[in-house]
Amino acid sequence: MRNFSDYDPFAVSVWFFAVTGMAMFCNYPVLMLISLAGGILFFLVRNGTKHAKSHLFFFMLFAVLAIANPIVSHNGMTVLFVVNDSPVTLEAVLYGLNSAAMIVGVLYWFRSYTQLMTSDKLLSVTGRLSPKISLLLSMALRCVPMLRRQADRTADAQKAMGLFKDDNIIDDIHGNIRVFSAVTTWALENGITSADSMAARGFGTGRRTQMRKYKLRRSDIIFMAVTIGLLGVCVAAAAHGSFEFGFYPLTDRICPDTAGKFGIAAYALLVSVPTIIETEAALKWRYLKSKI
């Protein structure tokens, strides 16, 4: 019994880029709807009713993106109404909805990906491709929270010294500049110290090791094979031209051919794989708990 987060990080990354790649490079409305629905469903399966603020933010972003396109673009032949001599067309509205679904759906997938891929998993994936990139990424990930903590400590010290005043914008700007200058100096000094420490510990003289090693299991290989197979069907349908769709000057009708139907079914199954895995693991866990 394995949750989706227990699969090999490389296999999870292959699946993730397969799902998001198809969503970003194909503007077919059916695929956008599947991606958005799958991203929301997978996020809800993993997190339940938590992260209400994230859902509200994504909903507001969807609304803004959908409304922005017909306001900016006036292409299309089907005029719905006119505002200040600017026509609002049905084609622009549909294009805005499609673009909003694509962006929000991909953002949902990215949000789930950041939850699945911890720092050690991400370093494991990048370490297989390039150890130097892995080192640079690990240092960057470590640097961000360190800079934030150091900035908070510096700001608290500035306030304790009385260098900040309430309700004074000019003084706040000067104070933030002082904090930024101090944190920048600290970051440069810390970088030199880290470089000297790494040289003293013999970095670069031997092969770099990892804190935790991930090995491909049989289930990981099967999962990657299923992912690549379904992606191949989707790519074949796209290469056949089944996912070509135009919004201007008139929106095309959604009438997929045989290759398009196979591609849609393959993408829907590809999107649903992690949800199926998570649901199966949860049901097995409940069954085992009921036997106790």
Indicate the average pLDDT of the chain: 85
Domains in the chain, number: 2
Q: Is 272 inside a domain boundary?
A: yes
Local confidence band at 4 (pLDDT 50, 70, 90 cut-offs):
confident
Residue 262: per-residue pLDDT? 94
Tokens at 37, concatenated: 């629905």
Same domain flag for 31 and 108: yes
Same domain flag for 101 and 241: yes
Tokens at 36, concatenated: 């958005």
pLDDT digits (tens, 9 = 90+) for 241-290: 999 888 888 888 888 899 999 999 999 999 999 998 888 888 888 887 78
Q: How far apart are CA 135 and CA 138, in angstroms?
A: 5
Which residue range forms the structural domain that includes residue 269?
4-123+219-290
Local confidence band at 200 (pLDDT 50, 70, 90 cut-offs):
confident
Q: Is 269 inside a domain boundary?
A: yes
Q: Is 128 inside a domain boundary?
A: no
Residue 180: per-residue pLDDT? 87
Same domain flag for 118 and 238: yes
Q: How far apart are CA 179 and CA 141, in angstroms?
A: 21
Same domain flag for 119 and 256: yes
| Biggest CA pair distance of the chain | 73
Q: Are 204 and 193 in contact (CB under 8 A)?
A: no
Q: Is 205 inside a domain boundary?
A: no
Q: Which of 134, 166, 200 is the last residue of a domain?
A: 200
Residue 1: per-residue pLDDT? 60
| Residue 291 pLDDT exceeds 90 | no
Same domain flag for 227 and 116: yes
